[in-house]
Chains A and B, each alone.
Chain A
C-alpha cells in the first residue's frame, strides 16, 4: 500500500473507495455464508437476508464505479493509484457476481424442500469451506496489501475444481437411482457449480491484488 497523498482531497477519495470496497467484500462474504447455511440446513428464512445483501452489493457496485470514474476523470491517477482504480473497477464486478451466485444458491432451497427424498450434499460443505476461505484470503490480501497471500489463493482453486467434479459425478449417479427427485439433485449440482464460480471470482480478486501490489498481470497464466 502506498503512503499518504500530498493532496488531502485525493487521499480522502482513495480512502473512501478502499473502505467502501472492504465493506462490499464483507457483505459478499456474509451473503455466501448465509446462502450456504440456508442450502445445507434447508432453511428458507435466510433467503431474504441473502437477497437484501445482494441489493446492497448491487448498489455498492454502482457507487464504487462512480467513485472510481470520478477519480479517473478528475485526478488522472498514475502508478499505484492508477492500478488501485483499475483494480477497483474489476474488483466490484467480481464481488457483485459472487453475491449473485450466493443468491442463486439460496434460491435453490425451496426446490430442495419439495423433494420427497432429500439428496445428499456430497462434497458441498467442503467446497463451501474452501470457496469461502479463498474469498476471505483474497479480501484480507487486499486489505493487507499482501501479494504473497493473494498468490496462495490462486493454487487453492484447483482443490475446489476437483471437489466440483467429484460432487457432480456423485449427484449424477444419485439421479440415476432416484429419477423422481432429479430436480432436487440438480439443485445440489447447481449449488456446486455456483460455489465453483465463487472460487473462480475469488481467484480473480487475488489476481487483481497481485496486479495492484506488484503491477504483474498473472491472469490466464496457469495451465488448463
Chain B
C-alpha cells in the first residue's frame, strides 16, 4: 500500500489524489474533544471546544496560539495529565492507534510510557544524572542493571547529551545548565521508549545555542517518534514542524502544512495571529 508523508497532505489534511493513493493511519485521532475546568466560584470554564484533529506517525505537529487558547490543555489530554487537576472534565475521544485513551479502564501508566511528556521548565529530580534517566525504567519494573545502564546511555545519546555528561553520570542533575537539564528531561522521557513525545514550550528558557540543539534533536527524533510541541515562537513552529495547528479561545481554528500556514493561512484569525495583528 502506498503511503504518504504528512507534509505532503493538502491543507485540509486530505491526501492529494493526483500524487497519493493512500494515507497513513493516524497515530492519534482526536474527535470532538471538550475539556472543562471547574472555576473558582463553582462554574465551569470550557477550555477546549469540539477539537477534532489527527496526528500522524513520525511527524512534528506544532500547536500555536495566544496564552489561554487551550493548546497546553490539548497537550495534557494526550497523556491524561488533566486527570491530576481537580474538577477537570474531558469529553470526546482520543484514540492512540485506535484505542481510546480516555476510557476509564485504559491503563494510565502504560499510556504515559507510550506518550511521554517534557514540560516548559526542566525539572530534573534531585538525583544523579544517571538516576534521573533510569527513574522511569525502574518505575516500570526494570531491574536488570546492565539493561538499565544500556538504556540510560542510549537515551542520553538520543537526547544529544551523552558527550557532555558521559564522564559525570553520578554528578547531581541539578548542576546541569538549563539547556542540558531540558535534554536530560527528554532523555528521561526517551528511556522508556515512548511512541509519542509531547513537548510543552521546551525552549522557553534556553539560550539560542541550546534552542538550536534542541530543535536539531527534535528533527532527529522525528525519524522514530510522533512529536506534538506547544510553542510560543512562530519561528520555532515553522522550523521544527511539518504541520501546525492554531488554537484560539479553546477552538482549533486551522490545522495544515506548516509551509502553507506560514505563507498563506486560510483563516483570517490565523493570519492575524501569526503576523502579529491580533486583538
Contact = CB atoms under 8 A, between A and B. Distances in A.
Interface of B is mostly: helix
Nearest to B260: A215
A10 B271 CA distance: 16
B264 A83 contact: yes
B277 A78 contact: no
B235 A76 contact: yes
A82 B262 contact: yes
A4 B263 contact: no
Interface residues of B, number: 16
B272 A3 contact: yes
B275 A79 contact: yes
A80 B271 CA distance: 7
A81 B234 CA distance: 14
A70 interface: no
B260 to A, nearest CB: 8
Given A2-B275, A3-B272, A5-B276, A79 B235 contact: no
B221 interface: no
Nearest to A14: B275
Interface in B134-148: none
Interface of A is mostly: loop
A7 B277 CA distance: 8
A116 interface: no
B219 to A, nearest CB: 19
Q: Residue among B235, B265, B276 with the most chain A CB within 10 A? A: B276
Contacts of A5: 275-277
A223 interface: no
A10 B277 CA distance: 11
B276 A10 contact: yes
B88 interface: no
B263 A79 contact: yes
Contacts of B176: none
Q: Residue among A2, A10, A78 with the most chain B CB within 10 A? A: A78
B276 A2 contact: no
Nearest to A4: B277
A88 B5 CA distance: 33
Contacts of A215: 263-264
A2 B271 contact: yes
Contacts of B270: 79
B200 to A, nearest CB: 22
Interface string B238-279: 100000000000000000000000111100001110111111
Given A4-B277, A6-B278, A78 B272 contact: no
A7 B234 CA distance: 15
Interface string A40-81: 000000000000000000000000000000000000111111
B271 A7 contact: no
Contacts of B262: 78-79, 82
B278 A79 contact: no
Contact of A82 (B263, B272, B279): B263
Q: Residue among B275, B276, B279 with the most chain A CB within 10 A? A: B275
Interface of B: 234-235, 238, 262-265, 270-272, 274-279
16 contacts: A2-B275, A2-B277, A3-B277, A5-B275, A5-B276, A6-B278, A76-B234, A78-B263, A78-B275, A79-B263, A79-B265, A79-B274, A82-B262, A82-B263, A83-B263, A215-B264
Closest 3 CB pairs of A and B: A215-B264, A78-B262, A6-B276
